[in-house]
């Protein structure tokens, strides 16, 4: 079943059905990364450093940190937005609504611009960062899932094992990376973040993040975020999968959240105990 079809089903279901759906998701997809490279790819866990409020109405598709603020792209038809968010409170300081025909996806910062993908429309949107006014658009041939920047190029995912390298001025594709864990293709690459020279990718629809070499596409490590959302936050709530990675390079802080999650976490990546 397609990614967003499952998500929309979850939104219309009771909490009990949603929990069963989440279990089904994990049973279906988690072994792809959990088992890939077993014994050869380093496995990491996490320590929660800080916890912040996050809007439980935000269907998080993209997340970046810049100069004390979070920028967040959200999805769902008729509900997709680009928003500027205060880290400490989770309060929305500014917001742009996408056309109801568009399903918002990942976002990236490049210089003074914000780039936002859409899911199946083949349309990327470009905004001025200062006031989030739309200043341009571009086209691509695949689905749009996640996007990030390494400072000179944009890196885009489409839900497969392929990462597309884009020129940030023309948005033309200038290269591709095939992502593999121990020689096996890794599907489900979703939200992306460039962290200390490596690509971090949420693997849909799991609690795993892959650490990917931007040169070879090889999976250099994998982070297991199972259990990060407390059980009490699942009770009577509609929550979807882990999605959203943001990095504060100045303070070396890593943030993660999920679709419709009431919390955002600052985490420290640590070796996972056997």
| pLDDT tens column, 9-32 | 444 443 443 444 444 444 344 446
User: Reduced to 3 DSSP states, what percent helix, strand and coil does the chain have, rounded to the nearest 5?
Assistant: 10, 45, 40
Are the C-beta atoms of residues 193 and 214 closer than 8 Å to each other?
no
| Confidence check: pLDDT of 266 > 70 | yes
Closest CA to 205 of 173, 237, 241: 241
Are the C-beta atoms of residues 191 and 202 closer than 8 Å to each other?
yes
More confident residue, 6 or 127: 127
pLDDT of residue 14: 36
| Confidence check: pLDDT of 90 > 60 | yes
Distance CA(107)–CA(50), nearest Å, equals: 23
pLDDT of residue 11: 45
Are the C-beta atoms of residues 189 and 182 closer than 8 Å to each other?
no
| Confidence check: pLDDT of 236 > 60 | yes
pTM of structure: 0.89
3 pLDDT band, cuts 50/70/90, is low
Strand partners, 212: 199, 219
Question: Domain locations in the chain?
Answer: 3-271
pLDDT of residue 36: 62
Where does 3-271 sit in CATH, by number? 2.40.128.630
Q: What percent of the chain stands above pLDDT 70? A: 85
What is the average pLDDT across 142-162? 98
What is the average pLDDT across 185-199? 97
Are the C-beta atoms of residues 34 and 217 closer than 8 Å to each other?
no
| Confidence check: pLDDT of 229 > 60 | yes
pLDDT of residue 231: 85
Token pair in block for residue 131: 């006031």
pLDDT of residue 13: 42
pLDDT of residue 274: 54
CA dihedral 23, 18, 161, 179 (to 10 degrees): -50
Distance CA(35)–CA(102), nearest Å, equals: 35
Distance CA(31)–CA(38), nearest Å, equals: 10
Q: HSE (CB half, 13 Å, CA atoms) of 102?
A: 21
For the chain, what is the largest distance between any 2 Cα atoms, rounded to a whole number of angstroms?
Answer: 50
Q: Residue 255 is inside which H or E element, if any? A: strand 253-258
238 pLDDT band, cuts 50/70/90, is confident
What is the arrangement of strands in the sheet containing 113-118, beginning at the earlier edge strand?
104-110, 113-118, 123-128, 134-139
Token pair in block for residue 125: 């949107």
Distance CA(16)–CA(252), nearest Å, equals: 38
233 pLDDT band, cuts 50/70/90, is confident
1 pLDDT band, cuts 50/70/90, is very low
Alpha helices in the chain (DSSP H): 3-11, 15-35
pLDDT of residue 232: 85
34-50 per-position pLDDT tens digit: 666 566 899 999 999 99
Output the CA torsion sign for 164, 159, 236, 27. negative
Most confident by average pLDDT, 18-22, 124-128, 234-238, 270-274:
124-128
Mean of the per-residue pLDDT values of the chain: 89
pLDDT of residue 54: 97
Kindly give, in sequence order, each residue whose CB lies less than 8 Å from that of residue 159, ignoring residues fewer than 6 positions away.
3, 143, 145, 187, 188, 189, 190, 204
| Confidence check: pLDDT of 263 > 90 | yes
pLDDT of residue 117: 98
Q: Residue 72 is inside which H or E element, if any? A: strand 69-74
């Amino acid at each position: 079943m397609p990614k967003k079809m499952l998500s929309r089903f979850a939104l219309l279901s009771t909490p009990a059905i949603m929990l069963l759906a989440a279990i089904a998701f994990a049973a279906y997809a988690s072994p792809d990364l959990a088992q890939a490279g077993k014994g050869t790819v380093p496995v990491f866990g996490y320590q929660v450093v800080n916890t912040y409020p996050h809007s439980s109405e935000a269907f998080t598709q993209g997340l970046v940190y810049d100069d004390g603020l979070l920028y967040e792209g959200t999805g769902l038809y008729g509900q997709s937005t680009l928003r500027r968010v205060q880290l400490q409170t989770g309060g929305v300081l500014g917001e742009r609504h996408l056309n109801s025909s568009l399903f918002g996806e990942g976002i990236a910062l490049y210089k003074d611009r914000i780039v936002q993908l859409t899911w199946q429309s083949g349309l990327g949107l470009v905004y001025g960062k200062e006031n989030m006014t739309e200043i341009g658009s571009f086209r691509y041939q695949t689905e749009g899932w996640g996007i990030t920047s390494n400072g000179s190029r944009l890196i885009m995912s489409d839900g497969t094992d392929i990462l597309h390298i884009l020129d940030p001025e023309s948005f033309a594709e200038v290269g591709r990376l095939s992502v593999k864990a121990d020689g096996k293709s890794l599907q489900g690459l979703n939200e992306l973040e460039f962290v200390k020279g490596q690509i971090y990718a949420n693997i849909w629809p799991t609690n795993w993040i892959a650490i990917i070499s931007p040169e070879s596409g090889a999976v250099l490590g994998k982070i297991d975020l199972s259990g990060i959302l407390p059980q009490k936050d699942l009770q009577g709530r509609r929550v979807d999968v882990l999605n959203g990675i943001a990095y504060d390079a100045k303070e070396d802080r890593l943030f993660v959240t999920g679709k419709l999650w009431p919390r955002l976490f600052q985490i420290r990546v640590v070796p996972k105990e056997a």
